Amino acid sequence: QGNIRVFCRVRPLLPEERERQRGMPHLHFPPQDSHSLVLTRPDDSQVGRERRAELRYDFSFDRVFPPGASQQEIFQEIQLLVQVCAHVPLEP
């Protein structure tokens, strides 16, 4: 009781999104780390002709599910949590 778990699920691209963009090059799922998600984007600031490196944002969650994660894989991760919530008696 009192613990909050935060999960992140990145949904697969819809067909019309796949046509407009080429994958999700701005999202990175570090290998061997199911708790991190890295978002990158080019830095639009330019001074003269010098271009700065891309901006990087690191996020940490209790679990990150990439677009290819199945419903079964996600349910297996939260199954015990769902069972505990279903058996908690409600107070009047």
The CA distance from 56 to 17, in Å, is 23
Q: Residue 6 in contact with residue 59, Cβ under 8 Å?
A: no
Look up the domain containing 71 and give its range.
Answer: 7-44+52-86
Q: Is residue 17 part of a domain?
A: yes
> What's the pTM value of the predicted model, to 2 decimals?
0.70
Position 28 scores a pLDDT of 92
Count of domains for the chain = 1
Q: Is residue 2 part of a domain?
A: no
Q: Is residue 92 part of a domain?
A: no
Q: Is residue 91 part of a domain?
A: no
Instruction: Indicate whether 45 pLDDT > 70.
Output: no
Position 57 scores a pLDDT of 93
Q: Which two tokens stand for residue 76?
A: 């297996």
Q: Is residue 1 part of a domain?
A: no
Considering only residues 4 and 66, tell me which one the structure prediction assigns the higher pLDDT: 66
Integer CA distances (angstroms), 5 to 1, 17, 36, 62, 74, in order: 11, 30, 14, 6, 14
Q: Is residue 37 part of a domain?
A: yes
Q: Residue 28 in contact with residue 40, Cβ under 8 Å?
A: yes
